[in-house]
């Protein structure tokens, strides 16, 4: 894959039929092929399912590849299932379904310097508001600047508060 283009879903985009949307992809991006999941759909009222897109592809001259869901230990490894496991704090399940440990990226934000009084390094990381992570303790392996480990502090314990920064009362209960 050479490029990924993220489209903002808005009213104008929501009004496009499946045919109009793939026509736009062909015209603007020179699309020659489309890869979708078996339960994928696009276009107004989700009319462009895998079956319809395959027919449109044959008619309009682009290939459609339908990917079957990946099943691990009898469970579909879908983004929905993984997000639900994250929200429930089921990190072993998340790791199994992802095939790797879960990771998150964000910008470091200024905090209240509570780590100093706790006796170990901490970091305040801003992440997407939509990310649902369960409160809990876990080991983290921070990496900065192109995945370099932070010298001398390769392993950190992390508490994910229910919301927002840690209160002084919570900091006393961390570990």
Query: For residue 43, how many other CB atoms are within 10 A of its CB?
Result: 21
pLDDT, residue 63, reads 96
Q: Are 97 and 72 in contact (CB under 8 A)?
A: yes
Q: What is the pLDDT along the chain (175 residues), one digit of tens a residue?
A: 677 888 888 899 889 999 999 999 999 989 999 999 888 899 999 999 999 999 999 999 999 999 998 899 898 898 889 989 888 888 889 889 999 888 777 777 777 777 777 776 677 777 666 666 665 545 455 555 444 444 444 444 444 444 445 555 544 444 4
Q: Are 40 and 50 in contact (CB under 8 A)?
A: yes
pLDDT, residue 142, reads 54
């Amino acid at each position: 894959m050479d490029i990924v283009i993220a489209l903002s879903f808005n009213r104008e985009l929501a009004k496009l039929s499946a045919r109009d949307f793939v026509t736009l992809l062909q015209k603007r991006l020179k699309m020659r092929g489309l890869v979708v999941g078996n339960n994928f759909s696009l276009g107004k009222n989700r009319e462009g399912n895998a079956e319809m897109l395959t027919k449109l592809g044959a008619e309009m001259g682009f290939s459609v590849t339908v990917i079957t869901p990946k099943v691990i230990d009898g469970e579909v490894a879908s983004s929905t299932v993984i997000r639900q496991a994250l929200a429930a704090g089921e990190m072993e399940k998340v790791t199994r379904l992802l095939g790797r440990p879960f990771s998150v990226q964000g910008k470091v934000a200024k905090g209240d310097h509570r780590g100093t009084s706790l006796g170990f390094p901490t970091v305040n990381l801003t992440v997407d508001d939509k990310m649902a992570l369960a409160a809990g303790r876990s080991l983290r392996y921070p990496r900065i600047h192109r995945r370099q480990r932070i010298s001398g502090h390769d392993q950190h314990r992390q508490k994910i508060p229910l919301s927002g920064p840690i209160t002084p009362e919570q900091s006393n209960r961390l570990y």
